[in-house]
Structure 1
Amino acid sequence: MANDLRSDALAELAANVAEPFERAHAMPPSVYTSQAFMEQEIDGIFAKDWYCVGRADALADPGDYVTATLAGQPVVVLRDRDGGLRGLSNVCLHRMSTMLEGRGHARTLTCPYHGWTYNLDGSLRGAPAMNLNEGFCKESYRLPAVRCEEWLGWVMITLNPDAPPVAEQLHDVEALVAGYDMTNYSESFYEEHLWDTNWKVLAENFMESYHLPVCHAGTIGGLSKLEEMVCPPGLPAFNYHTILKDDTLRIAMAHPGNDRLEGEMRRTTFLLAIYPSLLITLTPGYFWYLSLHPVEPGKVHIRFGGGMSDDYKGDADAQQNFIDLKTLLDKVNVEDRGCTEKVYAGLRSGLARSGHLSHLERPNYDFAQYLYAKLKQ
């Protein structure tokens, strides 16, 4: 039965993406609501592509760590004693309990079940009361490694040993926003949330600014000019669109000391959707991001963080400007949660039908093409 449901949803997606953009519809409800289709996404996308766990500057000191569950695999990413970033299985090799939780600092990885302890390189440091087992050899135990790479300050992991390096896949992104110097943005906040919607609904919500005047009428909607939004065709590993900001928020503009950006680029915001689920709002002065992972068809785990360009780190009022911005972002998130949870409620209706896409939803069309290309394999 599960395979039939998966095939039905994939067949509906195939018909959907076969339409040219000029005649395109939103994706069919089944690709959001089917449990079997979500399991195919886990196996065909999240177990194979790169997933973002946050920013490297948040893991500055040896022992700083962040945990994740990627396609069912508990993972810890940490700064090791040599100053490098390291991905490890977060499962004890004794009776297989998970160990660290959330984000924090630890001198060792200690299992909360029987107290087996691992060094930051994954080697076993100690195991109580194992001296009577003749087959036990401490040196033979080492936590399995998980591929981990840093790219422009982002910490990326994958379970796929054959995935191309992040920098190779995303070289077009790097060229597109080179003047922003994304490596030198420092994270000021980080949170994790669980919303009652499908991960793709939230991803698509980020990918288009068509909804801003209505969904965000109470916050940023009045500042959003549909005629200034530019939505070019996407590329295989990402899509993007741009909007122009005015100087009502100073840290959205390029800093006077920034000589890398010229003309309208000094007030251009890029909304980057890096497949499958890293969503970055990048302005010349600040950034915020979402990194998504499905939990159930109607539940998504969200990593939400942001901060400022180091161009502003010497400005006395910049931090207060960002605090004010974070207050606004929290209000925007409340609006987005309401809208995206309503979309998922509608998708579950037996009368739900997908409508035609606006020209401002070009990124959504490209996202659907990416999903089908991955899942048809």
Structure 2
Amino acid sequence: MQPTNTSLERPLSDDPLSSFTMPARWYLDEEIYAQEKNAIFYREWHYIGHVSTLTTPGDYVTMQLADENIFVIRDDDDQLRGFYNVCRHRAHQLVSGNGRVKDIVCPYHAWRYNKSGELCFARNTQDISNFDQKDYSLHEIQVETLCGLVFVNLDPNAEPLKSRAVGLEEDLRRWIPGVDDLKAISHDAFGGDAGIQANWKVVVDNYVECYHCEKAHPAFSELNCMQDYELDTFGIWSRQLGPSTRIENTAYQFSRKDPIQQSAFWYVWPTTTINVIPGETLVSVLSIQPTSLGTTSFAGDTLAHKSEQGSQRLDWLYNILGAEDMALCESVQKGLNSRSYNQGPFVADTDKSGIGEHALHHFHCLVRDALEQFRPTSE
């Protein structure tokens, strides 16, 4: 009998010690990816940028969120406003990349909106019956900030992030000195423009566990004393902590006088990661966003207190550690296509140790619950 990945699926249960992982088809099926767009990406909070890049009225940043392009802009009342990046006339995108504008002017027919999204001018519309500019304001989305990080949510009824991610702000403040004074110094990405050739959940899977670290990341395991490594889950977020680190390591050099002596990695459902490693205060905030069913962008901002610092750390983080993780994810994606594989067990332990996969199980349950809650009752 030949193996097949369509065999009877085993349960993804609430106990990581007896549960099995998501079936392979959840990473490979276009229909499930379509469900995720509506159940997860268009209903949850996502990092879009840092407040230090949005200081002046007219400053804006854009983001591709599955099939939607959106932007956040600072208005003339000094408020951050978020909108779908779509003109109300003929659907042309209004802005691109990051920048600053006096008004939001469509490149197609020059409809002009103010920074609060209200239509101010639409050429040659004076003879159209019942045309009212007030009816054509941009469609707005929710915006929230947390420790200077700007998040967006397309769901107008979504619960605020701070009440969803209880305790996250306090934890960030505990482990990141001067978090409110950070500024974005660069935009960085794993995999460049091509991204990672794997489903977005493969990338999250890899991020939220360090069971693989001692084998796959030798320099990381020298930098962090893995016997002291911690991994905890909290509602919609989880945090890995390396409280004990070594100055003598093959990753990069830092000093015992530096403000950060530990490693810390936060995952915030569904797409945000916040990363801190020993040395001068340097924070990498990266978003795990699908660009298709089988490709993922892992990109975001590097934040620091000084404009130039951490080049050795950044080189190791993106070019060595990041490259190692990319290779792991892309290999897993290939393996998921094998007819010999469907599910595996979670390697967890009752102590919830730092090398356990209980945060991986936590993520899988969040995906499961989101899809189940969104699924029509007629199914």
Tell me which residue corresponds to 1:151.
146
The amino acid across from 1:349 in the alignment is: S
Please state if 1:288 is matched with 2:284. Answer: yes
> What is the SS of the residue equivalent to 1:195?
coil
Q: Corresponding residue for 2:187?
A: 190
Provide the rounded CA distance (Å) in 2 between the counterparts of 1:250 and 1:178.
Answer: 25
User: What corresponds to 2:339 in structure 1?
Assistant: 350
Structure 1: distance between partners of 2:173 and 2:83: 31
Q: Distance in 1 between matches of 2:275 and 2:257?
A: 15
Change in 2 beyond 3 A, CA 1:102/1:254: farther
Matched, 1:375 2:371: yes
Residue 276 of structure 1, aligned match among 254, 270, 276: 270
Q: SS at the partner of 1:319?
A: coil
SS in 2 for 1:270: strand
Could you tell me how far 1:77 is from its partner in structure 2? 0.5
Greater alpha carbon shift after TM alignment, 366-375 vs 290-299? 290-299
Q: What does residue 223 of structure 1 align with?
A: 223
> How far is the alpha carbon of 1:224 from its aligned partner?
4.2
Deviation per CA, 1:277-318: give whole Å up to 9, x if none. Answer: 11111347221122122232201233322122x3xx4xxxx8
Is the CA contact 2:42–2:154 (under 8 Å) kept in the aligned structure 1? yes
> After the TM superposition, which of the residue ranges 183-192 and 106-115 deviates more from structure 2?
183-192
Determine if contact 1:253/1:283 at 8 Å carries over to the other structure.
Answer: no
Change (3 A) 1:135 1:19: closer
Amino acid at match of 2:327: G
Determine which of 289, 293, 311 is the counterpart of 1:297: 293
Letter paired with 2:207: F
Is 1:89–1:143's contact at 8 Å kept on the other side of the alignment? yes
Cα shift readout 1:314-366 (whole Å, capped 9, x = no counterpart): xxxx833x122222222122222222111111111111243333342221011
**What are the ranges of 5 or more consecutive residues in structure 2 without an aligned counterpart?**
1-5, 349-354, 374-379
User: Closer, same or farther in 2 for the Cα pair 1:76/1:254, shift >3 Å?
Assistant: farther
Q: Does 2:313 match 1:334?
A: no
Q: Which amino acid aligns with 1:211?
A: H
Task: Name the structure where helix makes up a greater proportion of residues.
Answer: 1
**Is the 8 Å Cα contact of residues 213 and 224 (structure 1) preserved in structure 2?**
no
CA contact (8 A) 1:53 1:303 kept: no
1:19–1:87 Cα change, 3 Å: closer
- 1:21 maps onto 2:16 in alignment: yes
| 185-194 or 27-36: bigger deviation | 185-194
**What is aligned with 2:261?**
267
Change over 3 Å in CA distance of 1:114–1:191 after alignment to 2 = farther
Give the Cα separation in 2 of the matches to 1:328 and 1:26: 31
- Whether the 8 Å contact between 2:241 and 2:264 is mirrored in structure 1 is yes
Is 1:319 paired with 2:313?
Answer: no
Question: How far off is 1:105 after superposition?
Answer: 2.0
The one-letter code of the counterpart of 2:139 is P
Which residue number corresponds to residue 4 of structure 1? none
AA in 1 matched with 2:264: F
Aligned amino acid, residue 343 of structure 1: V
CA distance in 2: counterparts of 1:58 and 1:348, whole angstroms:
41
Distance 1:27 1:81 in 2: 47
**1:54–1:303 contact (8 Å) kept in structure 2:** no
Runs of 5+ unmatched residues, structure 1: 1-7, 257-265
Separation in 1 of the partners of 2:128 and 2:71? 29
3-state SS, counterpart of residue 376 of structure 1: helix
The residue that corresponds to 1:211 in the other structure is: 212
Whole-Å separation in 2 of the counterparts to 1:335 and 1:149:
33
